Amino acid sequence: DAAEKGGYEHFMLKEIYEQPKAVADTLTGRLSDDNRAVLPELDWALGMARGIDRIHVVACGTAYHAGMVGRQILERLTRIPVEVEVASEYRYRDPIYTDHTLVLVISQSGETADTLAALQEAKARGARVVAVTNVVGSSVAREADDVIITWAGPEIAVASTKAYTTQLVALYLFACYLAQLRGAADPATIEEVLAGLRDLPDAVSKVLDTAPAMKAFAQQFARKESAFFIGRGLDYVAALEGALKLKEISYIHAEAYAAGELKHGTLALIAEGVPVIALATQDHLYEKTVSNIKEVKARDAHVLALTWTGDEEMASVADEVLYLPRVSPWLAPAVVAVPLQLLAYFAAVERGNDVDKPRNLAKSVTVE
Ligand code: G6P
C-alpha cells in the first residue's frame, strides 16, 4: 500500500500531484503544430458535425461539474444550445431530442449505473453518443458511438481530482474540434483556449505551490462547521466542485452560490466568522464579484479570495488572498480546482478523517 502511494500519505494527495502529468498525457497528440485540436478517434464527417443542433451533457458528481464547464465552452465556440443534467434526473425526464441531438456522457469509471442508463436511453431515442471516460473498455466506452479517453491513469481515492481536470481538458479539446469542423463562430477564443491548453500542464504544476498556504488556511478552517464558496460564471462552477470536494472528505457542510444570487436568500446565513471562499478569475465579472465580497465582508464573514497573480485590488477587500498563475479565464476551472482540492484534503486530514475512503461514499456507483 505504502509503495503504491509513492511516498504520499494518501492516494488523494498523490493524485492531486499527478495532475500536471495527467493533463499533459491527455493533451498528447491532440494539439497540432498549426494550433488545432486533433481527435483522430472521432474522425467526423463535416456534414454530421455541422448538422448537430442540440447537445445534452449527462453525468454524475464531479463529472457533472466538468459537464457544466463544458456547456459554457461548447456554447461559446459552437453556438449550439447545450443542456447539462445529472444522469439520475435525465434518465427519467423524457428529454426532448431533435433528429440531430448529440449526447455527451462523462464518467471517470465508465460504470456509473445512472450515467450508463442515460446513455442507453439516448441511444434508444436515436441520439449519437460521445463518451468522455478514463477507462478504456468500460461499459460506457463500449456502448457509446464515440469515445474520448482521459489519460489520467487509475484514480484510487474516492474524491475525484485528476479525473476531473483531465475531463475538463477533453471537453476543451472537443469544443475546439467541433468548432473547427463547423466553421468557427469565434476563432480568437479557439486560439486562446488551444494556446492555454498547451501551457496548462505548467500552470497546474505551478499552482501546486499553493499547498503550504492551503494547509495553513485549512488548519483554522477545519474547526468550522459550515462554509460558502462563491463565484460568477465559470467561477460558480468551480465553486460547486470546490464545495463538493470539501463535503465529500472533510464533512464540513458547504454551499456553493452564484455570487450574484447571495442577496436573494443565502446572505441571511452569512454571519461573523463564517468562512467564504471567493473565486475571482473571470475578468469580465471581476468587479461584480468584488461587490459581492464586500457584501459578505459587511456581515463579518472571513473571506479567502482566489485571484490571479498581479491583482492589486483584492488584498484590500478580502481577509486573505491566494494568488494563482494566470491562464486564460476559459481554463481557470482547471487551475482553481487544485487549491480547492488541497483545501479539502488538508481540512480532512486535520479532522482525522479517512481521506481516501470517506464514509458512505463509493468510488463507482454501479447500482441505482
Ligand atoms: C461517485 C463518486 C464521485 C464521482 C461520481 C461519478 O459518486 O464518489 O466522486 O464523481 O460517482 O463517477 P463517474 O465514474 O461516473 O465519473
Distance 143 CA to ligand 1 centre (A): 18
Strands 54-59 and 253-258, bridge-based pairing: unpaired
Q: Which amino acid is at 210?
A: T
pLDDT value of residue 18: 98
What DSSP letter does each residue of 11-74 carry, written as one string? Answer: HHHHHHHTHHHHHHHHHTTSB-TTS-B--TTT---HHHHHH--EEEEEE-HHHHHHHHHHHHHH
- Reported as a single tens digit per residue, the pLDDT across 50-62 is 999 999 999 999 9
Distance 363 CA to ligand 1 centre (A): 6
pLDDT value of residue 184: 66
Strands 82-86 and 101-107, bridge-based pairing: unpaired
Q: Whose CA is nearest to atom 15 of ligand 1?
A: 107
C-beta 109 within 6 A of ligand 1: yes
Three state DSSP letters for 88-109: HHHCCCCCCCCCCEEEEEEECC
C-beta 361 within 6 A of ligand 1: yes
Residue 46: CB partners within 8 Å, gap ≥ 6?
Answer: 181
C-beta 328 within 6 A of ligand 1: no
State residue 317 phi and psi, 5-degree precision: -110, -45
Please indicate, yes or no, whether the overall pTM of this predicted structure exceeds 0.90.
yes
Mean pLDDT by 10 residues, the chain (368 residues): 87 98 98 94 93 98 98 97 97 94 98 97 96 98 98 95 98 97 88 97 98 96 95 98 97 96 88 96 98 96 97 97 98 98 97 91 86
CA 348 to CA 219: how far, in whole Å?
10
Distance 159 CA to ligand 1 centre (A): 8
pLDDT value of residue 194: 97
CA 355 to CA 211: how far, in whole Å?
16
Give the three-state DSSP class for 300: coil
C-beta 365 within 6 A of ligand 1: yes
pLDDT value of residue 265: 82
Q: Which amino acid is at 104?
A: L
Written as nine digits, the cell of 182 is 463547423
Distance 123 CA to ligand 1 centre (A): 22
Distance 217 CA to ligand 1 centre (A): 27
Q: Is the ipTM of this complex over 0.85?
A: yes
C-beta 139 within 6 A of ligand 1: no
Distance 163 CA to ligand 1 centre (A): 10
For residue 195, CA distances in Å to 89, 191, 241, 275 come to: 36, 6, 25, 35
Return the H-helix or E-strand segment holding 279: strand 275-279
- Reported as a single tens digit per residue, the pLDDT across 170-226 is 999 999 999 999 986 789 999 999 999 999 999 999 999 999 999 999 999 999 999
What DSSP letter does each residue of 115-131 carry, written as one string? Answer: HHHHHHHHHHTT-EEEE
Separation of CA 340 from chain center: 11
Mutate which of 62, 85, 134 for ligand 1? The one with the most ligand atoms within 8 Å of its CB, which is 62
C-beta 292 within 6 A of ligand 1: no
Give the three-state DSSP class for 277: strand
Q: Whose CA is nearest to atom 8 of ligand 1?
A: 363
Distance 321 CA to ligand 1 centre (A): 31
Residue 171: CB partners within 8 Å, gap ≥ 6?
Answer: 66, 67, 69, 70, 73, 74, 106, 132
